[in-house]
Amino acid sequence: MSTLENKLFDIVVQKTGLERDRLSRDASIKDLEISSLDFVEIVFAVEEEFDIEVPYNANTMDSDFNTLGDIVDAVQAEVAKQQG
């Protein structure tokens, strides 16, 4: 597990109170019952942590992010953009 993934899962645990062992790249956001408002908070915390802006819109959440891996990838891409 990458450091980034680790940090991100820490944030998810902190914001949602979910058990850490339920989190994986393939875990579905729907199955984890993460609400769109929890998700707004998670994205905010991620943006603060990594100093990036994640292009997240609550209206299109379902089509943009299905799994935790999708968030990891989005964050990775934004971090790479910033370093590039």
Partner 1 sequence: MRRVAITGMGVVAAIGHDVEAFTNALRAGQGGLAPAEGLDQVPKGIAVVGQVRGFDAEARLGRDRLPMLDPFSQFGLAAADEAIAMAGLDFRADPALGTRTACIIGTGGAGIATLQDGFVRLFRDGKSRVNPFTVPRYMGNAACSHVTMAHGITGPSFAVTSACATANHAIGLGFHMVRGGGADCAVVGGTDALVNFGNLKAWEALRVVARDTCRPFAKDRTGMVVGEGAGVFVLEPWEAARARGATILAEMIGFGMGADAGDIVMPSVEGAARALRACLDDAGLDADGVDHINAHGTATTANDVTEARAIQAVFGDRAGTIPVTSTKSFTGHALGAAGGLELVAAIQTVREGYIAPTLNVTEVDPECPLDVVTGAGREGPVGTALSNSFAFGGLNAVLAIRRAE
Which residues bind to partner 1, rule: CB under 8 A? 36-37, 40, 43-44, 53, 55-60
Nearer to partner 1, 23 or 43 (CB): 43
CA distances from 63 to 20, 30, 32, 60, 70 (A): 25, 12, 16, 6, 11
CB of 43 to partner 1, least distance (A): 7
Nearer to partner 1, 36 or 82 (CB): 36
SS3 76: helix
Kindly state the DSSP code that residue 51 receives in the 8-state scheme: T
Nearer to partner 1, 1 or 58 (CB): 58
